[in-house]
């Protein structure tokens, strides 16, 4: 549905919130529900005792398969939604899965064939105010984004800069485009 144009890649490099290296400290400041985007982030939150309400994972970190220890922690009994999402894109299936997972009563894992990196932006748009979206900042730590009217607006603006039918994407996320 949406693709990241090459000239916009830099806009996604800067953290959208504070960066943490301690999962317990991050969790003490996080809202509810928690959406985790990334295998290593999900691993650290689970090891710290908090299963994210929504975890978006692809079995990889930095384009390489996660190690056995991380994979073992990620393998669980949670409801699982499988989606295809090519690198540098946001598929309709990804957007639908985020909305479905956020509406679920229990923890949900969205398992992505392809790449989950851009899922942070629609997760912020779709999550309720008061939630937190946590994603990995390579070689730095975990970024905590509090879902507020301002963060939702900024994420919506970023989404709007992607190539494709952004109005349909926002509508799929429950937002008037």
Strand order, beta sheet including 132-137: 19-20, 141-146, 132-137, 34-37, 54-57, 108-114, 79-85
Instruction: Give residues with Cβ within 8 angstroms of 77, minimum separation 6.
Output: none
Strand stretches in 46-140, DSSP E: 54-57, 60-61, 64-65, 79-85, 89-90, 108-114, 132-137
Binding residues for GTP: 39-41, 58, 60, 116, 139
Distance of CA 84 to the CA centre of its chain: 15
Mapped onto helix, strand or coil, the DSSP state of residue 58 is coil
Mapped onto helix, strand or coil, the DSSP state of residue 99 is helix
Binding residues: 39-41, 58, 60, 116, 139
């Amino acid at each position: 549905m949406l693709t990241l144009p090459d000239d916009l890649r830099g806009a996604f490099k800067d953290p959208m919130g504070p960066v943490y290296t301690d999962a317990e400290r991050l969790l003490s400041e996080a809202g509810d529900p928690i959406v985790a985007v990334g295998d290593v982030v999900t691993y650290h939150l689970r090891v710290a005792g908090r299963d994210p309400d929504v975890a978006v994972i692809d079995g990889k970190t930095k384009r390489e398969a996660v190690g056995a220890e991380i994979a073992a922690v990620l393998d669980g009994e949670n409801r699982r939604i499988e989606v295809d999402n090519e690198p540098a894109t946001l598929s309709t299936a990804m957007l639908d899965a985020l909305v479905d997972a956020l509406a679920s009563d229990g923890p949900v894992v969205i398992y992505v064939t392809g790449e989950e990196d851009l899922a942070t932006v629609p997760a912020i748009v779709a999550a309720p105010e008061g939630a937190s979206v946590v994603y990995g900042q390579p070689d730095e730590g975990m970024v905590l984004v509090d879902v507020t009217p301002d963060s939702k607006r900024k994420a919506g603006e970023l989404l709007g800069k992607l190539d494709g039918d952004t109005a349909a994407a926002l509508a799929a996320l429950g937002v008037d485009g």
